[in-house]
Structures are given as structure tokens and as C-alpha cells.
Amino acid sequence: MASHRARQPAGTIQATGNATLSVKPDQATLDAGVITSGASAQDAAQQNATQTTAVLNAITGVLGAAGTIQTVSYSVTPRYSNTPNQTPTIIGYTVTNTLRMVIIDLSLLGKLIDAANAAGANNVGNLNFGLQDPEPTVQKALGQASKQAMAHVSAIAGGLGAKTGAIVSAQQASAYAPLTLSGTLSAGATTPVQTGTVNVYATVTVSVQLAQ
């Protein structure tokens, strides 16, 4: 009786490719905060409303149709006395109202910073640069990472004196990292703003069967 040996499956090669693309941003977000204080919550809120309206009118006049504005936070916080050996008591209130601008005409950034500060915003900052639609750049980065992964597979196979077969599996990961400029932005004689670049990262790991 003839004996039969079970055929063993061919081995595989696994390799990873990476890609990073740096592109110019086409969108920015900027916060303009108005902070006011008063003896009562009502006083602080009324001052804040007046000041915020002035800021809103100023930045709307500059921004026009080149973006949007929305309120992202509003808070009323009591202020306490800090006298040693005495129980803290409320001595007033602080109201904070933060407007966020989404800007698609980046040439307006300096004018918006100046207008917000001049109109009474006392906490202008949290400037972020990003992409309106990062997906095309993500796809391009994934394509480059895939090519690098396959080039690594070919190099490994060549070093082993082997030939590659079918792709067994492929896994991907991607990330989009907007650029953030922290700190408060004060007004200048039209404040200059350098947009820099934003990065899109991609990683592709492939497993390829060795040909028998």
C-alpha cells in the first residue's frame, strides 16, 4: 500500500510599509473668548453679552461667507475671598463665553485675530490648521505605504531565494494630525500667521504567501 504524505502549506512573508504626507492646510479654527467679572452673576453676564456681541459683529464683518461662527462654551463661575483663617465667601462672578470660527480663507486669519482683540475679546487663541476633506490624502498615503510594504516583501523573498505568491491579508492604519498653535494671540498691525503644514500618516501590513 502506497503511503501518502500530507502536503504542507507554503510559508508566508509579512512586511510593513509606512508613509507620511505633509500638505498645506485649507481650513483653520480659531477661538475668541470673552471673560467678564461682576459683583453678581447678572452683572457679569450682562457685561459679557454686550462685549461678546461687539466681538461677534467685528469678526462677522471680517469673515463674511468665508467660514462659520458658533458658541462652543459658556460658563458662570463664582469668585471667592481668600482671607487667611476665614471661611471663603463669594465676592463676585466670572462669565466666560467662547466663540469658535471655522475659516476656509486662511488669508483672513491675521485680520480676524486683530478684529477680535480690538472688539473686546480677551482670550483669542486655540488656533488649529487642518483639512476640509482629509480622505484623498489618506488614500494617497495608504497607496504609498502599500507599495513600500510590497517592496519589502519582494526584498525579503529575494534574500531568501524564494518567489512570492498570492496576498494572504492586508491591514491598514491611518491618522490625520491637524497642526495646533497653543497660546494666546494678541493683536498686531495685522498679525502675521504662518500656516505651516499638516501631516497624514498611513501604515499597511501585508502577508504574502510564498510560491511552491
- Looking at residue 211, its pLDDT comes to 85
Distance (Å, rounded) from C-alpha 40 to C-alpha 34? 17
Residues paired with 197 in a beta bridge = none
Positions in the chain short of pLDDT 50: 1-9, 189
- Looking at residue 122, its pLDDT comes to 93
Distance (Å, rounded) from C-alpha 62 to C-alpha 84? 49
- Looking at residue 186, its pLDDT comes to 63
In angstroms, the Cα distances linking 73 to 7, 76, 96 are: 66, 10, 8
Work out the number of other CB atoms within 10 angstroms of the CB of residue 162: 15
* Dihedrals phi, psi of 87, to nearest 5 degrees: -70, 130
- Looking at residue 10, its pLDDT comes to 56
Domain regions of the chain by residue span = 11-25+132-212, 27-80+90-130
pTM: 0.79
Domain 27-80+90-130 top-level CATH class: alpha beta
* Dihedrals phi, psi of 117, to nearest 5 degrees: -65, -45
CATH architecture of 11-25+132-212: 2-Layer Sandwich (3.30)
- Looking at residue 179, its pLDDT comes to 84
Q: Is 111 left (phi over 0), alpha (psi -120 to 50) or beta?
A: alpha
Q: Do domains 11-25+132-212 and 27-80+90-130 have the same CATH topology?
A: no
